[in-house]
Structure 1
Amino acid sequence: MNQPSTAPTVERVHARHRYEIKVDGERAGFTAYRDRGEQRVFFHTEIDDAHAGQGLAGQLVQQALADVRALGKRIVPVCPYVAKFLLKHEEFADITDPVTPDVLKWLEAELG
């Protein structure tokens, strides 16, 4: 009989500027960010094909945004998935900043 798999875990991997979600100890996806002062700018979220359709992106982003709140930072949702998530999760509205041309220009320079 198979052991039930453990619940997915999310961890901040600051050296790589991202939060990773792991399933049974293996990375199943990530959401990437860069910090701009008090703002944590999310620009890309990706779940591996093998784990698609399991609701992992939602869990990943939920926990990443909760961490941003705990750190006293603000969210800038450049990533379309994060932006869509925020429309449904108004509990983060108070710490969400708009995506502005300045932010996009800054992000482009950051990412080279």
Structure 2
Amino acid sequence: MTRELVDRTGTPVTIALERAEPVSAYTVSVAGERVGRADFLEGPESHERVFFHTEVDPRFGGRGLAGLLLREALADSAREGLTVVPVCPLFARHLATHGDDYLAEGGSFRRPARADMTLVRRAVQGSE
């Protein structure tokens, strides 16, 4: 999945899905430079995606890039029929506020459980 969008300043940006083991990510690039990412793991159930970390380079703050990442990651997860598990505070806040809209658009999410936190901790420790 790769999408061409524009940020709040009208600058073209690219959102792409980068698959890796154990951590995959949706990334955002400006002029070919990767400037942010939303990291996720495949959940304990094969139909889940656990989002646990989102960051954007501070030099690009205020341009709405984290929001673009989040919305594209959620839309792509819904298209794939995956349940989102929002461990990342950004994803959790968004779904707490807009969860009903996401469900109405065909998305699915559930609250994180202790097992999800353990999965994230193990994956992050194993990739260091």
TM-score normalised by the shorter chain: which range applies? 0.7 to 0.9
| 1:54 is aligned to 2:63 | yes
Q: Of 86, 92, 95, which residue of structure 1 is paired with 2:102? A: 92
| Structure 2 runs not aligned, ≥5 long | 1-8
Q: Which residue of 1 aligns with 2:4?
A: none
Q: Which residue of 2 aligns with 1:9?
A: 14
Q: So what's the TM-score if we normalise by structure 2?
A: 0.77
Matched positions, count: 109
Distance across 2 between alignment mates of 1:35 and 1:97:
14
Counterpart of 1:21, as a letter, is V
The within-5 A match list for 1:33-72 is 33-36=40-43, 37-72=46-81
| Structure 1 runs not aligned, ≥5 long | none
Contact 1:58 1:85 in 2 (8 A): no
Runs of 4+ in 1 over 4 A off after TM superposition: none
Q: So what's the TM-score if we normalise by structure 1?
A: 0.87
CA displacement 1:5-52 (0-9 Å, x = unmatched): 642221100125000011122112000000022110000000001101
Distance across 1 between alignment mates of 2:28 and 2:67:
10
Structure showing the higher helix proportion among its residues? 1
Alpha-carbon RMSD across the aligned residues, in angstroms, is: 1.8
Q: Identity over the aligned pairs, expressed in percent?
A: 33
